Chains A and B, each alone.
Chain A
């Protein structure tokens, strides 16, 4: 199912965030979407848990808004992780 790109941005954001949370390809709860017009761009930001999720969120957005450009500002959690030890006293 595709979304009507002419619908108000609030609704596009709601449906895209819902899909990113529920679609089994991504299932990321904490992502944020912004919509820009002219050019028509969906901006996704937040932290994803894997590179696979990052790659597949483009598919999910593309399925819903095939005419929109995707600006993927997400970061993969722990990509440059350095394990610290906190001393609890």
Chain B
């Protein structure tokens, strides 16, 4: 079995220095891989990015991240990526990585994702340029996720890592009126076209921990208010 630790929405700020790292003390003995599901900072400022990098540097297991909407707030997302890179963490946005563990390979495909909604209640790229841009961003994210998943299809185990949700089920608990801002069914469709064994997301703080895509891929919401711990560990067969 492989053990995947994951968390999203840690929202580190400048006042978080020294607060999160201690919570990862046992990470190396509990998991083989660590995945961060976005919203790693409060506002994505360079100062917060520096704190994030310091808190996550030198982790004992391979670590990959996607960014969340909060990480874009200060228009300095590249700075967040840069600090993560310096800390040894690769950020995925429409791309993928294969992590070779002792007994198997794990492919991780990552994308922030976006809103858009779910079948029967979703937006359409029609009308104002702003609405078209909104939906085109959602569609583009799903396309990039599918491309990234295809690129790691040969790995023994494939995982889709997102910030936004691919399904409604893990949003239950949130006000349904805001579902179109919390995720998009197109992400699930991309996952179901792949051989992903697990899909992880954050973003929905009041959502539910678990669900599945229409095609049956397990989906887990790892937003820290949902899992109520510093990270959740998932155990998967080595050849999914």
Interface residues of A (CB under 8 A from B): 7-11, 13-14, 17-18, 21-22, 27, 29, 32-33
Contact = CB atoms under 8 A, between A and B. Distances in A.
Tell which of A13, A14, A21, A27 has the most Cβ of chain B within 10 Å.
Answer: A14
Given A22-B125, A29-B126, A14 B118 contact: yes
B58 to A, nearest CB: 42
Interface stretch (B7-15, B17-25, B185-193): B185-193
Contact of B126 (A7, A9, A27, A33): A27
29 contacts: A8-B215, A9-B119, A9-B214, A10-B118, A10-B119, A10-B185, A11-B185, A11-B189, A11-B192, A11-B214, A13-B119, A13-B120, A14-B118, A14-B122, A14-B185, A14-B186, A14-B189, A17-B120, A17-B122, A17-B124, A18-B124, A18-B125, A21-B126, A22-B126, A27-B126, A29-B124, A29-B126, A32-B120, A33-B120
A14 B125 contact: no
Interface of B: 118-120, 122, 124-126, 185-186, 188-189, 192, 214-215
**Dominant SS at the A interface?**
helix
Nearest to B168: A10
Given A9-B214, A11-B214, A14-B186, 19 more contacts: A7-B189, A9-B119, A10-B119, A10-B185, A10-B188, A11-B119, A11-B189, A13-B120, A14-B122, A17-B119, A17-B120, A17-B122, A17-B124, A21-B124, A22-B125, A22-B126, A27-B126, A29-B126, A33-B120
Nearest to A11: B189
Nearest to B139: A18
A7 B215 CA distance: 8
B213 to A, nearest CB: 8
B214 A10 contact: yes
Nearest to B124: A21
Contacts of A8: 192, 214-215
A17 B125 CA distance: 11
Contacts of A7: 189, 192
A10, A13, A32: residue with the most chain B Cβ atoms closer than 10 Å: A10
Contacts of A11: 119, 185, 188-189, 192, 214
Contacts of B188: 10-11
A19 B122 CA distance: 12
A17 B185 CA distance: 13
Contacts of B122: 14, 17-18
Nearest to B214: A8
Nearest to A24: B126
A14 to B, nearest CB: 4
A11 to B, nearest CB: 5
A13 B188 CA distance: 14
